[in-house]
Amino acid sequence: MYKSDAASRPKSSDENLPIVVLGASAGGLDALKAFFSGVSDEARCIYLVITHHKSEQQSMLPELLARSSGKRATEITDGMAPEPDCIYTNPATECFITLEGGKFRLLSACEASARTPSQDGGGNPPMKVYHPIDFTFQQLAEEVQCRLTGIVLSGSGSDGAIGLRSIKAQDGMIMVQQPESAEFSGMPDNAITTGLADYVLPPEDMGAKLAGYLRQCETLGLSKGEDELVSTDQLRRICELLQDRVGHDFSSYKPNTMKRRVAKRMALHRFRKASEYLEYLHHDEDEANHLFRDMLIRVTEFFRDPGLWDYCRNELFPEVLRQHEYSEGFRVWVAGCSTGDEAYSIAILLNEVLREKNISRRVQIFASDLDADAISIARRGEYPAGIVNEVPESLLSRYFSYANDRYKIRKSVREQIIFAPHNLLKDPPFTNIDLISCRNLLIYLNQDLQTDLISLFHMSLRNMGTLVLGPSESVGETSTTFKTLNSKWKVFRRNPDILSERASMQHFRGRRRTDRSLHHTPATAQPLPRDQPAIAEKVLKLLARKFAPGALVMSERGDIFYLHGDAGRFLEPVEGRPRYNIFEMGRGDLPRGLPALMHSAASSEGRVVEKKFKIDPSGDSYVLVGVEKLQAPKSMRGLFLILFHDCETPSASPTGTEEAEQSRDEEEPASHVFELERDLEKSRASYRALLEQVENQNAELRSANEELQSTNEELQSSNEELETSKEETHSLYEELSTINSELVEKVNRLSDANDDMANLLNSTAMAILYLDNELKLKRFTEKAKDIVAVRDSDEGRPIGELAIHLKGEELIEDALSVLSTLKGIEKEVTTKQGDWYLMKLLPYRTRENVVDGLICTFVEINEVKRSQFAESHSRELLSQLSHPFLLVDVDGVVVQITGAMAKALQVESQSAEGMRLTDLVREQRSSEGIAQCLNRILEGSQKTLQMSVRPISQNKSDEAPTLQLEIRKLPAGSGEPQLVWVGLL
Q: Please state, in angstroms and as integers, the Cα–Cα distance from residue 381 to each residue in 353, 399, 409, following that order.
A: 22, 11, 5
DSSP annotation string for 923-945? ESS-THHHHHHHHHHHHTS-SEE
Give the C-alpha separation, 860 to 946, whole Å. Answer: 47
pLDDT at position 20: 92
How far apart, in whole angstroms, are the C-alpha atoms of residue 770 and residue 752?
20
Query: Three-state DSSP class for 539?
Result: helix
Mean pLDDT of the chain: 79
Which pLDDT score, from 0 to 100, does residue 537 have? Answer: 63
Cβ-based neighbour number of residue 523 at 10 Å: 5
Task: Give strand pairing partners of 804.
Answer: 788
Tell me, what's the pLDDT at 497? 59
pLDDT > 90 fraction of the chain, expressed in percent and rounded? 8
Counting DSSP H helices and E strands in the chain, the numbers are 28, 35
Closest CA to 232 of 261, 256, 266: 256
Dihedral angle sign, alpha carbons of residues 534, 540, 546, 549: positive
Residue pLDDT, tens place only, 837-887: 888 999 988 878 888 889 999 888 888 877 777 777 766 776 666 678 888
Contact by Cβ (8 Å): 105, 78: yes
Element holding 173 (H helix, E strand): strand 173-177
C-alpha to C-alpha distance for 367 and 121, rounded to whole angstroms: 30
**Residue 889 falls in the annotated catalytic set:** no
Catalytic residue among 4, 30, 52, 154: 52
- Residue 159 is among the residues annotated as catalytic for this protein: yes
CA 719, 720, 726, 729 torsion: positive or negative?
negative
CA gap 519, 505 in Å, rounded: 22
- Provide the CA 444 distance to its chain's centre, in angstroms: 27
* Domains of the chain and any CATH numbers: 19-226 (3.40.50.180), 229-297 (1.10.155), 306-506 (3.40.50.150), 520-646 (3.30.450.20), 657-751 (no CATH), 764-860 (3.30.450.20), 871-984 (3.30.450.20)
For the ranges 227-236, 300-309, 521-530, 820-829, which has the lowest average pLDDT?
521-530
25 is catalytic: yes
Estimate the share of the chain in helix, then strand, then coil, as percent rounded to the nearest 5: 45, 20, 35
The pLDDT, as a whole number, for residue 21 is: 93
The pLDDT of 420-442, averaged and rounded, is: 87
Q: How far is CA 338 from each of CA 296, 302, 343, 344, rounded to the nearest angstrom?
A: 9, 12, 9, 11
Q: Which of the following is catalytic: 4, 25, 166, 368?
A: 25
Confidence of residue 149 (pLDDT cuts 50, 70, 90): very high
CA distance 365 to 379: 13
Percent of the chain predicted with pLDDT > 70: 82
Residues 6+ apart with CB under 8 A from 903: 884
d(CA 302, CA 816): 74
Cα separations in angstroms, 562 against 134, 623, 639: 55, 20, 11
Cβ–Cβ under 8 Å, residues 185 and 158: no
**For residue 897, what are the CA distances in angstroms to 771, 859, 955?**
48, 33, 20
Supply the pLDDT for residue 9. Answer: 38
Q: What is the mean pLDDT of residues 715-732?
A: 75
Among 828, 827, 824, 813, which residue's Cα sits nearest to residue 855? 824
Sheet with 825-830: list strands edge to edge: 777-780, 767-771, 851-860, 836-845, 825-830
Residue 518 has pLDDT above 50, yes or no: no
683-718: burial string, b at 16+ Cβ within 10 Å, e else: eeeeeeeeeeeeeeeeeeeeeeeeeeeeeeeeeeee
Overall average pLDDT of the 438-451 stretch? 85
Where residue 861 falls (left for φ over 0; alpha for ψ -120 to 50; beta otherwise) is alpha
Q: What does the alpha-carbon distance between residue 179 and residue 176 come to, in Å, rounded to a whole number?
A: 8
pLDDT at residue 501 in the model? 43
- How buried is residue 833: exposed, middle or buried, by Cβ count under 10 Å (0-12/13-18/19+)? exposed
How many angstroms separate the CA atoms of 168 and 198, rounded?
A: 10
Residue 409's pLDDT is 92
Q: What is the longest distance spanned by two Cα atoms in the chain?
A: 197
Q: Which residues pair with residue 103 across a beta bridge?
A: 100
For the segment 483-493, the average pLDDT, to the nearest whole number, is: 90
Do 963 and 922 touch, CB atoms closer than 8 A? Answer: no
- The pairing of strands 963-969 and 944-951 is antiparallel
Start-to-end Cα distance in the chain = 112
Mean pLDDT within 643-667: 57
| pLDDT reading at 43 higher than 80 | no
The pLDDT tens digits of the residues spanning 747-778 come to 888 888 887 777 777 777 788 888 998 888 88
How far apart, in whole angstroms, are the C-alpha atoms of residue 981 and residue 885? 7
Q: Which pLDDT value is given to residue 503? A: 38
What was the pLDDT predicted at 11? 41
What does the pLDDT read at residue 122? Answer: 39
Residue 152 has pLDDT above 50, yes or no: yes
- List the catalytic residue out of 30, 159, 294, 515: 159
| Contact residues for 123 (Cβ-Cβ < 8 A; gap 6+) | 110, 114
Instruction: Tell me the pLDDT band of 334, cut-offs 50, 70 and 90.
Output: very high
Q: Smallest Cα–Cα separation from 32: which of 736, 739, 733, 738? A: 738
Query: Looking at per-residue confidence, does 648 or 296 come out higher?
Result: 296
Neighbouring CB atoms inside 10 A of 40's CB total 12
Least confident of 30-44, 306-320, 566-580: 566-580
pLDDT for 5 beyond 60: no
Q: Could you read off the pLDDT of 938-959 as tens digits, one per residue?
A: 877 777 877 878 787 655 545 6
Tell which residue, 432, 467, 424, 455, has the closest CA to residue 331: 432
- CB neighbour list of residue 466: distance below 8 Å, 6 or more residues apart: 316, 320, 434, 435, 436, 485, 491, 492, 493, 494
pLDDT band at 674 (very low <50, low <70, confident <90, very high): low
One-letter amino acid at 521 equals T
Question: Contact at 8 Å (CB) between 882 and 905?
Answer: no
Cis amide leading into 306 (omega within 30): no
| Short-list 863, 864, 886, CA closest to 875 | 886
Using DSSP's 3-state secondary structure scheme, residue 913 falls into coil
Is it the case that residue 678 has pLDDT exceeding 90? no
Q: What is the mean pLDDT of residues 377-406?
A: 87
More confident: 286 or 335: 335
Angle, helix 656-763 to helix 61-69, in steps of 10 degrees: 90
pLDDT of residue 150: 93
pLDDT at residue 350, rounded to an integer: 93
The pLDDT, as a whole number, for residue 675 is 64
- Phi first, then psi: give them for residue 434, nearest 5 degrees: -95, -30
- Which residue in 837, 834, 840 sits closest to 860, CA to CA? 837
